[in-house]
Amino acid sequence: MAEIRIALAQIDTCVGDIDNNARTILERAQQAAGAGADVVVLPEMTVTGYPIEDLALRASFQRGAHAALEQVAADLASRGLGSLTVVVGTVGATRPSSDHPEPRPTNRAVVLQHGAVVASYDKHHLPNYGVFDEFRIFAPGHETCVVEVRGRRLGLVVCEDIWQDGGPVAQMAAEGVDALLVLNGSPFEEGKGHVRTELAARRAREVGAPLVYVNMVGGQDDLVFDGGSFVVGADGTVLTSAPRFVEHLLLWDLAEDADAPHRGEVAPELDQDEEIYRALVTGLTGYVRKNGFRSVVLGLSGGIDSALVAAVAADAVGGENVVGVSMPSVYSSEHSKDDAKDLAERIGATYRVQPIAPMVDAFQGELALDGVAAENLQARVRGMILMALSNAEGHLVLATGNKSELAVGYSTIYGDAVGGYAPLKDVDKSRVWALSRWRNNLALDRGEIPPIPESSITKPPSAELRPGQVDQDSLPPYDLLDEVLDAYIEHAEGRVELLARGFDADVVDRVLALVDQAEWKRRQYPLGPKVTALAFGRDRRLPITSRWREPLS
């Protein structure tokens, strides 16, 4: 049996950007061939990007993907790469049957050799939970696929196929393969890296062969793909792994002797704050670039949320492409203005000051608002200023709200909720502080200036919409709030379970009532990167018009 070299091409595709995705496939194939690879494996739905949602149902899109795949196969051959085996994902189609006379789209992996598609595999298990809607758009496959390369039998499956017991993996075990290649579009969530390797280890043992796991990387709408491609041996050991959150070409040799597998470099693990911070940067980078922006604008209040968003933005697009706008009102404290300016200087952002009094006064002169209407007015004037700068100068507006605020509806629609992207949408307030400290410590470790002013981290949070206001006037302390939210939202516990955990009944009732009523606000919020197991929006889908309220005391 020959030893063969497999290249795991961990790349960043863009949904619908078929030409560029095809170009990237060719480049990686060339690079892999140059490094002596026999096989190059790319992520799930490489040609089309992932997830394509209802684009799958459009005939012209299917035709476009099909034509691009044929062209890639031809280009590989014409570049002298015909003998390289290239495994890519794309949108396929079922063969018409009596039950389904019209072809239906499939989530397909194909094998290219010598200018042609020599084998293909349609994903069996179509996930339809959490962020996934594949059962909606794809028809499942029912066949297995094994391709031979220099006498070695390589089985093919796609992502969810290894997350379900039985199915094609069990069939691979029965048919016998020398390695199982898995194409993935597995979105990031905290701690998921370990879950993947443990799962892959179990499947490798089931199949009795190494498992080659190739994941995509990059931000796509509200999903962040973290890469972290790897190979586990037949005994479940991680043999080699790619770094996360970057494109990478990982080479691994499938040994002649199954009992003496080759090992390669293993990427260092990331701690919890680091992986989340990097997910935020990756998500924002992808959203800005893939939507054709070059710069971002955000309001700098002097508070911790906008400071962390600015730091993430500077890491994503460069401080010189960040515009921070201080928009003080009569209620803004001096320290807020100082902290905002200090932050902008630390990260090298453009800093502007635009007081809101002239506009607020104009509205008040006409409408004479008070109470919540007057508070919201201030937030909305700020939102309009940011949108005006976006329209005039072309920056993407970032919303700075965090998950705790979003959970309880502590935000102003068309005010601080304005923006194309909300980096902290899935980051609760406790984590906002932790990430800020982590990022500052990283700077200190590197001998750099910490991006976030210390006083933004230490002062009590305030929306500064009325004199002396602090968040804790309306909300429980954030550490307590975040615990209740975690139990109620992430773990879907009810009031009974929350009280049994020892939470105070008044706090529980107050928080649950706020959460149950805030769905319409959450629905209006911009997209943000999913980093936890349960992100608002794609993961958790609720009616707006619902009179369900968790039963209270």
Would the annotation count 440 as a binding residue?
Answer: no
Give the residue, chosen from 266, 367, 449, 552, that forms a contact with a second copy under the rule CB under 8 A.
367
Closer CB to a second copy, residue 5 or residue 540? 540
Place of tokens 């994503």: 316
Give the residue, chosen from 1, 35, 373, 470, that forms a contact with a second copy under the rule CB under 8 A.
373
Cβ atoms 52, 82 nearer than 8 A? no
- Is 44 known to be catalytic? yes
Distance CA 416, CA 461 (A): 15
Distance CA 194, CA 228 (A): 10
The answer to whether 96 contacts a second copy (rule: CB under 8 A) is no
The answer to whether 511 contacts a second copy (rule: CB under 8 A) is no
Site size for a second copy (CB under 8 A) = 81
Closer CB to a second copy, residue 78 or residue 135? 135
- Is 145 known to be catalytic? no
Give the residue, chosen from 133, 274, 345, 490, that forms a contact with a second copy under the rule CB under 8 A.
133
| The two three-digit tokens of residue 287, written as one number | 């959203």
- Is 334 known to be catalytic? no
Least CB distance to a second copy at residue 540 (A): 6
Compute how many other C-beta atoms are within 10 angstroms of the C-beta atom of residue 535.
24
Closer CB to a second copy, residue 304 or residue 323? 323
The answer to whether 413 contacts a second copy (rule: CB under 8 A) is yes
Q: Are strands 322-326 and 217-220 parallel, antiparallel or unpaired?
A: unpaired
Distance CA 253, CA 152 (A): 12
Would the annotation count 306 as a binding residue?
Answer: yes
Compute how many other C-beta atoms are within 10 angstroms of the C-beta atom of residue 492.
10
Would the annotation count 304 as a binding residue?
Answer: yes
Residue of 14, 44, 429, 519 marked active site = 44
Give the residue, chosen from 7, 276, 427, 527, that forms a contact with a second copy under the rule CB under 8 A.
527
Region near a second copy per CB under 8 A, out of 194-202, 239-247, 381-389, 455-463: 381-389
Distance CA 77, CA 81 (A): 5
What residues between 21 and 60 interact with a second copy by CB under 8 A? 49, 51-55, 57-60
The answer to whether 420 contacts a second copy (rule: CB under 8 A) is yes
Kindly list the distances between the CA atom of residue 16 and the CA atoms of 49, 81, 92, 424, 452, in Å, as whole numbers in the listed order: 6, 25, 15, 26, 37
What residues between 534 and 553 interact with a second copy by CB under 8 A? 540-551
The DSSP letter of residue 426 is T
Specify the DSSP element, H or E, that contains 397: strand 396-397
Region near a second copy per CB under 8 A, out of 26-34, 228-236, 312-320, 520-528: 520-528
Side-chain-side CA neighbours of residue 76 (13 Å): 32
Q: Under 8 Å CB-to-CB from 199, ≥6 apart: which residues?
A: 162, 163
Place of tokens 């962040």: 224
| The two three-digit tokens of residue 85, written as one number | 């085996």
Phi-psi domain of 403 (left: phi exceeds 0; alpha: psi -120 through 50; beta: other): alpha
Give the residue, chosen from 257, 334, 366, 445, that forms a contact with a second copy under the rule CB under 8 A.
366
What residues between 282 and 321 interact with a second copy by CB under 8 A? 286-287, 290-291
The DSSP letter of residue 98 is S
The answer to whether 495 contacts a second copy (rule: CB under 8 A) is yes
Would the annotation count 489 as a binding residue?
Answer: no
Least CB distance to a second copy at residue 393 (A): 9
The answer to whether 494 contacts a second copy (rule: CB under 8 A) is yes
Side-chain-side CA neighbours of residue 106 (13 Å): 22
Region near a second copy per CB under 8 A, out of 144-152, 153-161, 351-359, 434-442: 351-359
Least CB distance to a second copy at residue 518 (A): 13
Give the residue, chosen from 28, 152, 380, 431, that forms a contact with a second copy under the rule CB under 8 A.
380
The answer to whether 528 contacts a second copy (rule: CB under 8 A) is no
| Phi, psi torsion values for 486, nearest 5 degrees | -60, -45
Would the annotation count 186 as a binding residue?
Answer: yes
What residues between 135 and 174 interact with a second copy by CB under 8 A? 135-136
Phi-psi domain of 517 (left: phi exceeds 0; alpha: psi -120 through 50; beta: other): alpha
Specify the DSSP element, H or E, that contains 382: helix 371-393
Distance CA 533, CA 403 (A): 13
Nearest one of 392, 406, 414, 202 to 305, comparing CA atoms:
406
Please count the residues of the chain. Answer: 553
Closer CB to a second copy, residue 51 or residue 261? 51
Region near a second copy per CB under 8 A, out of 75-83, 201-209, 389-397, 443-451: 389-397
Would the annotation count 376 as a binding residue?
Answer: yes
Least CB distance to a second copy at residue 188 (A): 16
Would the annotation count 350 as a binding residue?
Answer: no
Distance CA 504, CA 439 (A): 34
Cβ atoms 488, 531 nearer than 8 A? no
The answer to whether 391 contacts a second copy (rule: CB under 8 A) is yes
Compute how many other C-beta atoms are within 10 angstroms of the C-beta atom of residue 131.
17
Closer CB to a second copy, residue 18 or residue 311? 18
Would the annotation count 229 as a binding residue?
Answer: no
The answer to whether 63 contacts a second copy (rule: CB under 8 A) is yes
Closer CB to a second copy, residue 460 or residue 494? 494
Angle 374-537-108 from CA coordinates, rounded to 5°: 155
Residue of 14, 134, 145, 159 marked active site = 159
Closer CB to a second copy, residue 151 or residue 365? 365
Would the annotation count 302 as a binding residue?
Answer: yes
What residues between 199 and 258 interact with a second copy by CB under 8 A? 219-221
Give how far the C-alpha of residue 446 lies from the chain's centroid of Cα atoms, to the nearest Å.
27
- Encoded amino acid at 364, one letter: Q
Least CB distance to a second copy at residue 59 (A): 6
- Encoded amino acid at 416, one letter: D
Q: Which residues are annotated as a binding site for deamido-NAD(+)?
A: 376, 405, 521
Q: Which residues are annotated as a binding site for ATP?
A: 299-306, 400
Active site residues: 44, 123, 159
Q: Which residues are annotated as a binding site?
A: 129, 186, 192, 299-306, 376, 400, 405, 521
